[in-house]
Chain A
């Protein structure tokens, strides 16, 4: 990937994280928040492929881990895998319709929530309880799907037109 694209990717991810912790995370409807960082990682993976997706996911996941109070490395792992998987899914499509990114984001959010809960339960995190897991599984996935068209449009515009495989 050329250097200017890497710069765009890094800046976009940091912007997404900052918006997440200062604005988006405050919009907690019915006890669940949208996850702008995950949506951004998936959108970049869909635009730039598995390599960019996993790098972006790992990097921004690690920063989010450092800023949070949960186990270090947890989001780095999850977002890395999510970014890679989204990139691989992209390779099966010639052209992306409007709904493909939404579907991928919905599925990836569900995977991320379950992975977070699963690994959290393994390391004995008392926060992992049935209620928040079910809530975020349903609601966060929904919010993320709603966010996707906007983020994907922004990502496509930022990197200069849709990619061709």
Chain B
């Protein structure tokens, strides 16, 4: 039975050959149509199963965490423990609901400030290996999701849609090294591509190497046709490289989003009519304490004129639209609060 027979070897050779053929075809074709069809077929079949399994697994995980060991105890203790576990379980569920509620409120705030039209989804699965940073969400083409659409959560940019099935969609997370977005330093308007870097912070190539960059400055996405929508918070400057090459300068960026703990996300199905510039950022940066801030107060006096005086920092409020002309850098954004520095 364990014999390595000749037939086994022939089959092995055939399977290896098939694999190499697939790798070659995929490599040559890139996003070739035939293989793409196969992938979306697999996602169509697996998507509903993943959704179902995630639905089942959540409560079980909670119960397992609270029940503990009940063996070898008398009935009364058992009953009490079960009741206790049940209550604890309920408490956990309440905690979970509270956290979810808070997350949804903040997410709602973000999408409202940006003027994004979104579809709300939950993450049902994540990439299986250590190299690819992807997540599967429980909404698909039936919900109006299309390829390349921007995905955000309450904290900021999550990624973009790369594969759509009827009930699920695959999201390439911004931490993936294949992910690139054009970002802009919110305070002075210098832009450049921001690329994912796995578990390490993201990297931004400043196209204006002489720009003065300080630690803790926020970076938002610059709207690009067919790419990530404008105004989504990406992260804050963590460090600036010393060396200045002739053309660019590298800045490391600490993303706002924690890619290992994703739950509720929103897919932007329609970009805002007006570039929100830095309006999405104006509320305080994501804080770990659950302090819901559903909608920021409107500015006391709406001054849409290009006034040079910045709004007093520390009082976040929504400006109707930030800067009137794209040439002038947005001055409406106050200096970043110190709490944002990592």
Interface of A is mostly: helix
B42 touches A87 (CB 8 A): no
**A127–B8 CB distance below 8 A:** no
The smallest C-beta distance from A71 to any residue of chain B, in angstroms, reads 5
Among B19, B172, B178, B260, the residue within 8 A (CB) of A77 is B19
Give the size of the chain B interface in residues (CB under 8 angstroms). 54
> Assuming the A-B contacts A32-B130, A128-B131, are A73 and B20 also in contact, with contact meaning beta carbons closer than 8 angstroms in the complex?
yes
Instruction: Say yes or no: A58-B15 contact (C-beta < 8 A), given A68-B132, A132-B131.
Output: yes
Within 8 A of A (CB), among B74-131: 124-131
Interface string of B193-212 (1 = CB under 8 A from A): 00000111000000000000
Whether, in the assembled complex, B155 has its beta carbon less than 8 Å from a beta carbon of chain A, the answer is: no
Q: Are B38 and A66 in contact (CB under 8 A)?
A: yes
Within the complex, the shortest CB–CB distance from A23 to chain B, in Å, comes to: 6
When A31-B130, A80-B15 are in contact, do A126 and B42 touch as well, CB less than 8 Å? Answer: no
- Per the 8 Å Cβ criterion, residues 145-168 of B in contact with A are 162-163
Cα of A27 to Cα of B2 in the assembled complex, Å? 35
B43: contacting residue among A67, A70, A117, CB under 8 A? A67
Binds A, one of B45-53, B230-238, B239-247, B319-327: B45-53
Asked if A63 and B42 sit within 8 Å, CB to CB, the answer is yes
Number of interface residues of A (CB under 8 A): 64
Which residues on the A side are within 8 Å of B124 (C-beta)?
Answer: 22
Cα distance A84–B126 when bound, in Å? Answer: 28
Residues of chain A within 8 A of B198, CB atoms compared? 31, 127, 129, 131-132
Report Cα–Cα, A116/B130, bound state, in Å: 10
Q: Is the CB of B35 within 8 A of A72?
A: yes
A4 interface residue (CB < 8 Å to B): no
Q: Are A51 and B53 in contact (CB under 8 A)?
A: no
Interface centre among A50, A90, A128 (most CB of B within 10 A): A50
CB <8 Å contact, B199 and A69: no
Cα A163 to Cα B2 in complex, Å, equals: 10
Alpha-carbon distance A144/B228, docked complex (angstroms):
37
**Is A40 an interface residue, CB under 8 A from the partner?**
no
Shortest Cβ distance from residue A164 to the other chain B in the assembled complex, whole angstroms: 8
Assess the A165–B23 pair: CB atoms within 8 A.
no
Task: Tell whether, in the assembled complex, residue B15 and residue A127 are in contact, meaning their CB atoms are under 8 Å apart.
Answer: no
Contacts A31-B130, A49-B2, A66-B42; is A72 near B25 (CB within 8 Å)?
A: yes
Q: Is the CB of A70 within 8 A of B132?
A: yes
A156 at the B interface (CB under 8 A): no
The answer to whether A157 has its CB under 8 Å from any CB of chain B is: no
Query: Which of chain B's residues have a CB closer than 8 A to the CB of A35?
Result: 128-129
Q: Cβ of A76: which chain B residues have Cβ within 8 Å of it? A: 15, 18-19, 22
Selected from A25, A32, A51, A55, the residue in CB contact (under 8 A) with B125 is: A25
Are B4 and A91 within 8 A (Cβ)? yes
Q: A33 to B11, Cβ gap below 8 A?
A: no
CA distance A31 to B260 in the complex (A): 9
Contacts of A107 in B (CB 8 A): none
What is the minimal beta-carbon distance from A52 to any residue of chain B, in angstroms?
A: 9
- Residues in B whose Cβ lies below 8 Å from that of A63: 42, 46
B interface residues, Cβ below 8 angstroms from A:
1-5, 8, 11-12, 15-16, 18-23, 25-27, 35, 38-39, 41-43, 46, 49-50, 53-54, 57, 61, 124-132, 134, 136, 162-163, 170, 172, 176-178, 198-200, 260
List 8 additional contacts besides A48-B1, A49-B1, A55-B15; criterion CB under 8 Å: A20-B128, A21-B127, A33-B130, A62-B22, A66-B43, A73-B21, A73-B25, A136-B131
**What 4 pairs across the A-B complex have the smallest Cβ distances?**
A73-B22, A77-B19, A66-B42, A136-B130
Offer 6 A-B interface pairs, CB within 8 angstroms, sorted by A: A54-B12, A63-B42, A68-B134, A72-B38, A73-B21, A116-B129
